[in-house]
Amino acid sequence: MAEEAITRGEELAYELKIDQVMTREIKVVAPNLSILDAFNLFQESHIRGAPVVSENQLLGVIRLEDLIEAWRQGEAASQVVADHMNKRVTTINPLDPIIEALKLLMEAKLDQLVVVDENNQLVGIVTKGDITRGLLGALQRDHHSVEVKRHRASYLFEDISSDRTSLILRYHIKARDFAQGGAASSSIKRALLQLGAMPQIARRCGIAIYEAEMNLIIHTTNGGEIRVEIEPHQILMETIDTGPGIKNIELVMQPGYSTASDEIRALGFGAGMGLKNIQRCVDEMELESVPNQSSKLVMKPQPGSREWIFLCEPMPNQGTKLVMRINLQPTETFAK
């Protein structure tokens, strides 16, 4: 059995979105603002940093430390914010779950993240304090919420006569489909609760599947499939894809190690904690992978046309399979 319980607060970190907790009304500075004026703005507003914005496009971030350093160098009166701002900004999308913000804050040792939409337009900032307040508020609302309606799982597992009865759920996950990231894991968790699973079991499954789902979105070439088989004594979860595969499984199991591209990391994903988070939630985990060695060229008819097109497809048997299992104890089985 997994060593530690998954709290409702941890579960909410995967459910709440950035735009539900972020600060929308923020101070911004123009790139041509003088260092002296920026310093005065920081003092008056009691802030330690601000996004640098021009025509609502994020250009960088200027920190109080940057202004102080310019002051020490005697450049406060002659130089502007653009001369000292940091152009490499760690950002996050407003529709991402706050768990991704927590990963980035921990990895980059930051106190806040700039929130930008798909057009790189500034929409807010999110701080550790914002996340804490958002979680506390959600927990308070949870206390007064109506319990989800549950169906009798015994209809599936007892009233049906068979040698082995199971419920199988399948979801196809598209590569780079960040807008739908977490949709499958939310559906699976909801289904488990409706079947009468204990909340702790649903939380563990939900977090494990979320991390596996995001791996399919981030790392695969053509996406993949999530398959969940629910039985009275266990919940078996699998993800399967056709490439590009993992070259060194031992290395990717190390916390913080990531094979995500710079482009993906710039979007706020790929912190390298997914597999470790999965391990915390499941009783058994198996990871098999055949790295991408080559591709084959195939000719197929173009949909809706008589023309044929050439496509590169992965060679057979390459890709990754992740198997996760949660064993249900007699006290954890589905409610009757």
Q: Which two tokens stand for residue 55?
A: 């025509």
Q: What's the number of CA atoms in the CB half-sphere (13 Å) around residue 143?
A: 5
Q: Beta partners for 226? A: 171, 239
Q: Tell me what pLDDT residue 43 has.
A: 92
Q: Identity (one letter) of the amino acid at 109?
A: K
Q: 180 vs 150, 186, 216, 217, CA distance in Å?
A: 26, 11, 12, 9
Q: Number of helices (H) and strands (E) in the chain: give both, helices first.
A: 11, 12
- 141 Cβ contact list (under 8 Å, min separation 6): none
Q: Identity (one letter) of the amino acid at 316?
A: P
81-120 burial, b if ≥16 CB within 10 A, otherwise e? bbebbeeebbbbbbbbbbbbbbbbbebeeeebbbbbeeee
Q: Beta partners for 113? A: 126
Distance CA 93, CA 306 (A): 41
Q: Is the peptide bond before 244 cis (omega within 30 degrees of 0)?
A: yes
Mean predicted lDDT score pLDDT of the chain: 84
Distance CA 202, CA 206 (A): 6
Q: Tell me what pLDDT residue 154 has.
A: 47
Q: Tell me what pLDDT residue 225 has.
A: 93
What domains lie within the chain, and their CATH numbers? Answer: 15-140 (3.10.580.10), 149-291+320-332 (3.30.565.10)
Tell me phi and psi for residue 185, to 5 degrees.
Answer: -65, -35
Helix, strand, coil in percent for the chain, rounding step 5:
35, 25, 40
Residues of the chain with pLDDT under 50: 1, 146-149, 154, 295
Distance CA 298, CA 241 (A): 19
Q: Are 169 and 227 in contact (CB under 8 A)?
A: yes
Distance CA 320, CA 249 (A): 10
Sign of the four-CA dihedral 204, 209, 210, 214: positive
Q: Which two tokens stand for residue 294?
A: 């080559």
Q: Which two tokens stand for residue 207?
A: 């977090």
Ordered DSSP codes for 9-28: HHHHHHHSBGGGT-B-S---
